[in-house]
Chain A
Amino acid sequence: MKLAYSNFALWSIVLLLTLALMTMIAIPAFAQTSTATDYTSATGTVDTTDTTTSTPGLPDTGAGGDQVMMMTALAISGVVALGGAAVLLRRYA
């Protein structure tokens, strides 16, 4: 282990950044869970437009058109993540 454990500042930064990124990812996840819970409320207040006078538009029930973008982004970030992990592994293992 060439990376000294005494390099406290480095590990602190890594830890903080990891926590920040996990939070960024987790917040939307929790937000959606919260929304889903709200759906189950039978007696609570509900949304939205007065449906006696107007009706909603048709739902957006597809996401597949983003397939190329999603797969490209996934591949690039996956390669970078694996590459970085490999470099770190070689350097410190």
Chain B
Amino acid sequence: MKSISNTIIILVTIVAGALVMSIFYRGFYASSADATDSTVMSQEKFIESATSTKPVALSIPRLGVHAKVQKVGISKRGRMAVPTNYADVGWYRLGPAPGSNGKAVVAGHLDNGFGLPAVFRNLDDLTDGDEVLVTDEQGTTFRFEVTGKTRLISTTSSTEDIFTTSGPPQLVLITCEGEWDPQAKSYSHRIVVFAKLAEII
């Protein structure tokens, strides 16, 4: 009988310990539903410019942001995918690269599962003229200057102006804002910051 009691205590302890690890994992890594790309399509439809190089680092001196850049596609929910952790940012790899014509879109988290600040926590503090630096894999740095920002409802379907591949080189930074919707497991709004290419270093 004592053996059974021992077994139960050991099992409960192990399960509880595993839960602690699992919760920590969920708290510091983004949901796979948001982070994973969904289906695969043929390479012919890959619209990313073959000549553009991929961004690897992003800095926003005014906010003290220095982040690695992950390459992301579209999530299973049909949204732009997000980085797999809360410290990196995600560049929408099916669109233009920073410095190329069109708008290069970069998303970062507002907070993590424990409510702690993530990389774009203070994105809303950016004002016109603030600089954003993006370095690509060849070491070239593109300096962008913030030109404006807007606030959109998270479920908006009018995203053509953000994910456009034409026009002068611009950078778009996105993060969450507003009220948390427990049903949708998402914030109600998004802050979208626009920046124009000012200099190639």
Contacts and interface: CB of A to CB of B under 8 A. Distances in A.
Main secondary structure of the interface of B (DSSP, over half): mixed
B31 interface: yes
Given A28-B32, A64-B180, A85 B23 contact: no
Contact of B18 (A14, A24, A38): A24
A21 interface: yes
A74 B182 CA distance: 19
Contacts of B154: 58, 60
The 3 closest A-B pairs by CB, nearest first: A65-B180, A84-B13, A64-B111
Interface residues of A, number: 58
Interface in A32-66: 32, 35-36, 38-40, 42-52, 55-66
B41 A64 contact: no
Nearest to A22: B18
A66 B26 CA distance: 10
B75 A63 contact: no
Nearest to B123: A61
B79 interface: yes
Contacts of A59: 34, 75, 79-82, 90, 107, 174, 190
B23 A73 contact: yes
A17 B84 contact: no
Interface string A56-93: 11111111111100110110011011011101100100
A59 B109 CA distance: 9
Contacts of A46: 37, 40-41, 43, 46, 73, 93-94
Given A17-B14, A46-B46, A81-B20, A63 B112 contact: yes
Contacts of A36: 70, 84
Nearest to B137: A42
B27 A80 contact: no
A63 B25 contact: no
A75 B27 CA distance: 13
Interface stretch (B4-12, B59-67, B138-146): B4-12
B181 A84 contact: no
Given A46-B41, A58-B190, A81-B16, 13 more contacts: A14-B10, A14-B11, A21-B18, A25-B25, A48-B38, A57-B77, A62-B176, A63-B111, A64-B180, A81-B20, A83-B13, A84-B16, A87-B13
Interface stretch (B124-132, B156-164, B193-201): B156-164
Nearest to A31: B32
Given A62-B110, A80-B12, A47 B159 contact: no
Contacts of B113: 63-64, 66-67, 70
Contact of B47 (A28, A45, A52, A70): A52
B165 to A, nearest CB: 8
